[in-house]
Structure 1
Amino acid sequence: MAKQSKYGTLYLIATPIDEQNPLDTTALNLLKSGIASREQSLFLIEDLKPCRRRWIRFGLDRDIIEDFILFNEHTQVEIENEIISKIQSGKNAYLMSDGGLPAFCDPGQKLVKRCHELGVRVTCTPHSNSISLAVALSGIDCANFTFAGFPPRRPEERKEFLKNLAKVNMPKVLMDTPYRLTRLLEESVEVFGDRIAFIGMELNGEDEELKYGKLSKLLKEVSGLKKEFILIIK
């Protein structure tokens, strides 16, 4: 589904694993922007005590702490629809875990999935690992996944590689060179069928583009593009 301009955005806020480390400048400025437009912002946190402690350490406005919304394994099912509704009304949501990357082995995967399905923009503040970043942004349940890396170049080896990968009963993470993006999707449709998949292109860049849906749909949307990418097949 095309992104709806009237909708807000779901921001995944990557935070330091070590509490003593500072928050990335981009993430800090983004949160300050959300604070400045408090009425149009939703601050989703995993656990009050550690998030409050970090929030204060990052030098952010303490008054916002009273606006925190607990979003974790105990509350997400109950409040997910309400959060989605508010984002669709134009509010921005800032999702933070206790430390690290939200929606990667942390609450948020289903929320990201719903956003993709409804055409809500999802993005993340700078994160150093492209694989975990793609997984978090994918909306695909990757509690277990296999990283397959780059397929071989030669056509016969490549097809055999993908056929063997199709036997793996968990999400598959693939990479390839930008000029093989269309080719890999064509091959994936042939080998995997029309499965749900995700493509993250130019992650964390100015031209970042995320695509979610059936492989045939993704193929139509990105055919001919040449961009750095990560493909995740459900």
Structure 2
Amino acid sequence: MKIQKSFESNKGILYVVATPIGNLQDLTPRAGEILREVDVIAAEDTRHTRKLLSHFQFSTPLVSYHEHNEQTRGKALIERLMKGESVALVSDAGTPAISDPGEELVRLAVEHDIPVVPIPGPNAALSALVASGLPAQPFLFLGFLPRTPKGRREELTRWARIPATLLCYESPHRLLPMLQDVLEVLGNRRVAISRELTKKHEEWIRGRLAECIRYMEEAGVRGEYTVVIEGAAEQEAGQADPQKNWWESLSVIEHVNTYMEQGKTKKEAIQQTAKDRSLSKREVYNVYHREEK
């Protein structure tokens, strides 16, 4: 167990600073003060962050910290923090460490007993959630779903019966395939799809998945998107203990059939059922076909 007294240490402080997701005026006064006064800012893309600093006339030194240099640069930043320097961690937009390589630097700082202080502010997922018109709690943040259709469907299947609003990020070229997978696995649920949040061309598309997909196929896809998806209805979720696996009340054949109803082939459904139940594929195959007969 570790106890952190944030401002009672002779080590430096790692500030996790939220920056605007579009409108630069959303930078909080405290975030601005931190960015102006720290020894160095660790930025996902220094060119992007430099524009923010120039807007507010800050001259704080910048270093890059991203997924391709996190091992070497992370070690160097920890050494600076151990010597008593202060570091502000920022992402390109929003709150660092959420679908962001900054998570690893935070972990390293905690391991080395370096105080980690959050400086709260903008976040695309929460902004989309509170304006979506869908239940704001409980919610589950999934970040970016896997790139492959198979991976996406498997991930969505994990949460198909959870009665919680789902939040996702998606890039423009993968948005429509992702929404099609959501439709196939979760059904025609209500969604709120947003882009350009806080900017002049902010846009929302709210409705049932099928109609939203049709609209976007015709209107085109532009920019990065935040997708808010309605959670499972009570009859889908059942009254099972949320700490238990959703399939525990099902027989093996019902378990396999559920996946087949969601669009998987029989082979894929048997493989996933075997994985869920920690059984071999042969065991599930034999039980399924014996019960089927």
State TM-score, norm by structure 2.
0.42
1:88 aligns with 2:56: no
Residue equivalent to 2:97: 103
Residue equivalent to 2:176: none
Q: Deviations over 1:138-159 (max 9, x none)?
A: xxx976797987xxxxxxxx99
Q: Deviations over 1:9-29 (max 9, x none)?
A: 111111111154342111011
Aligned length: 144
Counterpart of 1:43 (choices 41, 44, 66) is 41
Query: Partner letter of residue 111 of structure 1?
Result: L
Residue equivalent to 2:52: 54
- Taking only the aligned residue pairs, the percentage that are identical comes to 26
Change (3 A) 1:2 1:32: same
Partners of 2:122 and 2:90 in 1: CA distance: 17
SS in 1 for 2:25: coil
SS in 1 for 2:19: coil
Partners of 1:11 and 1:94 in 2: CA distance: 5
Change (3 A) 1:118 1:127: same
Residue equivalent to 1:30: 34
Residue equivalent to 2:22: 18
Change (3 A) 1:80 1:94: same
Residue equivalent to 1:127: 121
Residue equivalent to 1:163: 244
Q: Is the 8 A contact 1:19 1:54 kept in 2?
A: no
Residue equivalent to 1:213: none
Counterpart of 1:8 (choices 5, 8, 12) is 12
Change (3 A) 1:19 1:142: closer
Partners of 1:86 and 1:22 in 2: CA distance: 29
Question: Which structure 1 residue ranges, 5 or more long, are not aligned?
Answer: 35-40, 133-140, 150-157, 168-234
Partners of 2:13 and 2:245 in 1: CA distance: 38
Q: Deviations over 1:15-65 (max 9, x none)?
A: 11115434211101122232xxxxxx221111122111111112323xx3x
Q: Deviations over 1:137-193 (max 9, x none)?
A: xxxx976797987xxxxxxxx99322338x9xxxxxxxxxxxxxxxxxxxxxxxxxx
Displacement of 1:73 in angstroms is: 1.4
State TM-score, norm by structure 1.
0.51
Q: Deviations over 1:188-232 (max 9, x none)?
A: xxxxxxxxxxxxxxxxxxxxxxxxxxxxxxxxxxxxxxxxxxxxx
Return the index of the structure with the highest Cα Rg.
Answer: 2
SS in 1 for 2:66: coil
The one of the two structures with greater contact order (alpha-carbon pairs below 8 A, sep at least 6) is 1
